[in-house]
Amino acid sequence: MNPQVVSLVLGRLGVAVITLVIVSFIVFAATEMLPGDIAQILLGQAATPEAVAGLREAMHLNDPAILRFLRWLGGLLQGDLGKSYANNMPVADLIGGRLANTLKLAAVTSMFAVPVALFLGITTAMYRGSLYDRAVNTLVVGVISVPEFMIATLAVLVFAVWLHWLPALSFTGDTTTLMGLLKAYAMPVITLSFVISAQMIRMTRAAVVETLKMPYAEMTLLKGASKPRIVLRHALPNAIGPIVNAVALSLSYLLGGVIIVETVFNYPGIAKLMVDAVSTRDLPLIQTCAMIFCLGYLILITIADVIAIVSNPRLRK
């Protein structure tokens, strides 16, 4: 492999590690600024000042913030996520099943949304300026303009209230059958698919259109090649990097949208667990959930950057 490619890939991985350390500090600082005394919240309003002071000492809340941050970061590096304040259970036990549920939801959404978005993005670029292109772009702009909670609310209104096809909340019915499982996932998947597909379609279309403007693509068109052949044989191989970036950025929006979707549909995932932890000021649980979302985002972006570097024909040569 070209030494320049190896150097760029290693540099990108190094940037990702440094970014993760900086993000961990920001997450810790943000949770520390949450209002309220953790010890007072856990013991209740009837607790005596002595009991509150004793609990703060036992939980090391009186230690300097930098010391607590280093202790927490060291635990993360060793795989120790700490104990939940509210449940007195290891955080790893609390998030285990919830993380699996969120990953299942993300996987099902990606399997449905990514092929559809890539197809629409590539075909609108292939027939840009046509009625089909204008119709899809109008729909995409409309979806982008609507926030996630509004899409979720409209989905409930249409499919649950008006049509009575789907339950308003996930996992409220029988999920032992295939049909019951499909109904449980349908509303969250529909909402998240709208959220991530719109951006992916626009970015994919822009990447393919830019590639079609290159001299070699125009020369192929002048030689009489059909548009599908130009796109599939010539444009797409050179647009892999931008398209992968479009997919990664769109899937990263999935991490933010899943918080709203899991809350609206009462889906038992890690985002819903994080929202519940904020109400109880369960700092170790909040910090771990936030770091999981940040790690997922960094992994997606780093993979996209590495693929873009490796697939760059100029660097390969």
pLDDT in tens, 186-243: 888 888 888 788 888 988 888 888 887 777 777 777 776 777 777 777 777 777 777 8
Whole-number pLDDT of residue 13: 86
pLDDT given for residue 52 in this prediction: 79
pLDDT of residue 100: 85
Q: Is the pLDDT of residue 316 over 60?
A: no
Would you state the pLDDT for residue 277?
A: 85
Q: Tell me: pLDDT of 135 over 90.
A: yes
pLDDT in tens, 90-129: 888 888 888 888 888 888 888 988 999 999 988 898 888 8
3-state secondary structure 103-122: HHHHHHHHHHHHHHHHHHHH
> pLDDT tens digits, residue range 239-271?
777 788 888 877 877 776 678 888 888 888 888
Distant-in-sequence, close-in-space partners of 35: CB < 8 Å, separation ≥ 6: none
Domain 3-34+81-316: which topology?
MetI-like fold (1.10.3720)
Tokens 């027939």 belong to residue? 127
Which residue is it, tokens 């559809």?
A: 116
Residue matched to tokens 């996987």: 107
Token reading at 49: 């000042």
pLDDT category, 315, cuts 50, 70, 90?
low
Say whether pLDDT at 164 is over 60: yes
The yes-or-no verdict on residue 143 having pLDDT over 70 is yes
Q: What is the pLDDT of residue 173?
A: 61
Over range 156-182, report the average pLDDT: 77
Q: What is the mean pLDDT of residues 261-282?
A: 83
Contact 1, 314 (CB under 8 A): no
CA-nearest of 85, 87, 97 to 284 is 85
Report the interhelical angle of 91-126 vs 240-264 (nearest 10°). Answer: 130
Per-residue model confidence (pLDDT) at position 119: 92
Q: Assign 131 a pLDDT band (cuts: 50, 70, 90).
A: very high
For 293-316, what is the mean pLDDT? 79
Span 4-62, pLDDT tens digits: 778 888 888 888 889 988 989 998 888 888 777 777 777 777 778 888 788 788 777 78
The pLDDT score that the predictor gives to residue 136 is: 92
- Bigger pLDDT: 109 or 2? 109
Per the DSSP assignment, residues forming a β-bridge with 90 are: 83
pLDDT at 172: 62
